[in-house]
Chains A and B, each alone.
Chain A
Amino acid sequence: MKIQKEKEQPEIPTASMADIAFLLIVFFMLTTVISATKGIEHILPQQDKDTETQVEKEESIYIKINADGTYTVDQKEPRSIRDMGFLKDYVYAKVSRNYKKPIIIHVNPEANYESMIAVLDTLKQVEEQVAKEGRLPADKGLTISIPTSAELEAWGY
């Protein structure tokens, strides 16, 4: 006599799939940081001797940031770091004619980091404006350099 065994269909339990998925969702939601990590980009100079060009102080826009929260542009009288309108107009007038004009930011060692960012931000705003007007070739930016104190010493500033 043949005994007919009822065959059990093999299956994977999927009832808990949603639970597993939601657990993962909760994990990723908790670890996600949608924080505002944004900043100002700056390209550091590469120390290649052949690309290095000597820039005369007179040819450039020379911005000096002082320790007391003021800045001086090209021998003009010092202005407060909060008054950025002058710098913007001054740099814009020069750069819109020649975007390659080097800009040197000389920061006093005792000046606050905030002051430097304020100046750099203003320069980047000018850059955006000039780029919008089509006076800047694509993939090109203003020539902004922030020399370190060792470089400043070497240049004799």
Chain B
Amino acid sequence: MKLRKTKTIEAYIPTASMADIAFLLIVFFMITTVFQVDKTKLILPASIVRSEVVKGSAFVVVTEEGYIKVSDGKEDTHPIDASDVLSFAVDLMSKDPEHHVVLKVDKRVKWHVVDKILEQLEQARVKNLQFLTKLKTNQQ
């Protein structure tokens, strides 16, 4: 007796929802994406207490050599003179008096450099400041 051949069901992966999955991922990455405004490499001081930097904060970067770079949070950082921080901050505050400013300073920088920046930020009536740090581990 001849056995009747069973009909093989063709295997296939449903691809109709592929685009939906992909778009979901896109939305996730779009929301989490923060365009880094500063890529300066420096050694940050460590601390235990840390809180998240507000998205779109302005940056003031001081390298070990004392070079100062600023960014309003939208564009990349650009180098400026130590005495021009005031005009930068005043400009920033005129647009939004509550704008957060992040200080990204190398840990080896002497205080008087930071002091001058703080003085100018205070003069420009900057209110919300944040000192960028890295997480302190037990070894330190």
- Cβ-defined contact, B29 with A32, below 8 A: yes
Contact with B along A115-157 (1 / 0, CB 8 A): 1111011001101100000000000000000101110000000
- Cβ-defined contact, A28 with B127, below 8 A: no
Q: Do A38 and B122 contact each other (CB < 8 Å), given the known contacts A24-B26, A110-B110, A117-B47?
A: no
Does B74 interact with chain A (Cβ within 8 Å)?
no
Q: Which positions 15-42 of chain A face chain B at CB distance < 8 Å?
A: 17-18, 21-22, 24-25, 28-29, 31-42
A-B contact pairs, 14 of them (CB 8 A): A18-B19, A25-B25, A29-B29, A31-B33, A33-B36, A38-B133, A39-B130, A40-B47, A108-B111, A111-B111, A116-B114, A120-B47, A121-B136, A148-B119
Measuring CB to CB, which residues of chain B are less than 8 angstroms from any residue of chain A? 15, 18-19, 22-23, 25-26, 29-30, 32-36, 45-53, 102-103, 105-115, 118-119, 121-123, 125-136
Bound complex: CA A150 to CA B115 (Å) = 9
- Cβ-defined contact, B15 with A18, below 8 A: yes
Name the segment of A3-11, A43-51, A55-63, A71-79 touching the other chain.
A43-51
Closest to A150 in B: B119
A29: min CB distance to chain B, Å: 6
- Cβ-defined contact, B105 with A149, below 8 A: no
- Cβ-defined contact, A43 with B51, below 8 A: no
Q: Do A107 and B111 contact each other (CB < 8 Å), given the known contacts A22-B22, A44-B121?
A: yes
Set A33, A46, A113, A115: member contacting B105, Cβ < 8 A: A113
- Cβ-defined contact, B115 with A117, below 8 A: no
CB-defined contacts of A53 to chain B, threshold 8 Å: none
Closest to A45 in B: B122
Q: Do A109 and B26 contact each other (CB < 8 Å), given the known contacts A39-B133, A117-B45?
A: no
- Cβ-defined contact, B127 with A40, below 8 A: no
Set B47, B107, B115, B135: member contacting A148, Cβ < 8 A: B115
Q: Do A121 and B36 contact each other (CB < 8 Å), given the known contacts A113-B111, A148-B118, A150-B119?
A: no
- Cβ-defined contact, A128 with B49, below 8 A: yes
- Cβ-defined contact, A41 with B29, below 8 A: no
Does A112 interact with chain B (Cβ within 8 Å)?
yes
In the complex, which of the residues B22, B119, B127 has the most CB atoms of chain A within 10 Å of its own CB atom?
Answer: B22
CB-defined contacts of A39 to chain B, threshold 8 Å: 47, 50-51, 53, 102-103, 130-133
